[in-house]
């Protein structure tokens, strides 16, 4: 049976979201790339906007989304690194 690893982005005492560290290396890499590119695109859109009308709560929502995507991508890369080193 596969041992799933909880994602670091879980904020509850009982993890809800997990990563399969035994997934094919190409799938772990693809998962990380997808999240990094989504974060890149989100930041690009933010960079192109005028921040004059953006309130603190809106900015916090964008930062939170970017953090979750980056953390999940890092978790996938960490699992891939453990596989490559193992």
Write out pLDDT tens, residues 12-61: 999 999 999 999 999 999 999 999 999 999 999 988 888 788 888 988 99
Q: Does residue 59 belong to any structural domain of this protein? A: yes
Rounded Cα–Cα distance for residues 59 and 57 (Å): 5
Q: Does residue 54 belong to any structural domain of this protein? A: yes
Q: Does residue 3 belong to any structural domain of this protein? A: no
Q: What is the pTM of this model?
A: 0.87
| Count of structural domains, the chain | 1
DSSP for residue 18? E
Q: Does residue 18 belong to any structural domain of this protein? A: no
Which domain covers residue 50, as residue numbers? 23-31+42-86
Rounded Cα–Cα distance for residues 9 and 69 (Å): 9
Q: Does residue 27 belong to any structural domain of this protein? A: yes
Q: Does residue 76 belong to any structural domain of this protein? A: yes
């Amino acid at each position: 049976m596969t041992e799933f690893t909880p994602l670091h982005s879980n904020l509850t005492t009982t993890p809800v979201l997990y990563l399969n560290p035994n997934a094919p290396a190409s799938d772990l890499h693809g998962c990380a790339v997808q999240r990094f590119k989504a974060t890149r695109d989100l930041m690009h859109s933010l960079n192109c906007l005028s921040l004059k009308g953006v309130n603190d709560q809106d900015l916090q929502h964008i930062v939170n989304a970017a953090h979750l995507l980056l953390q999940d991508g890092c978790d996938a890369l960490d699992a891939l690194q453990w596989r490559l080193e193992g």
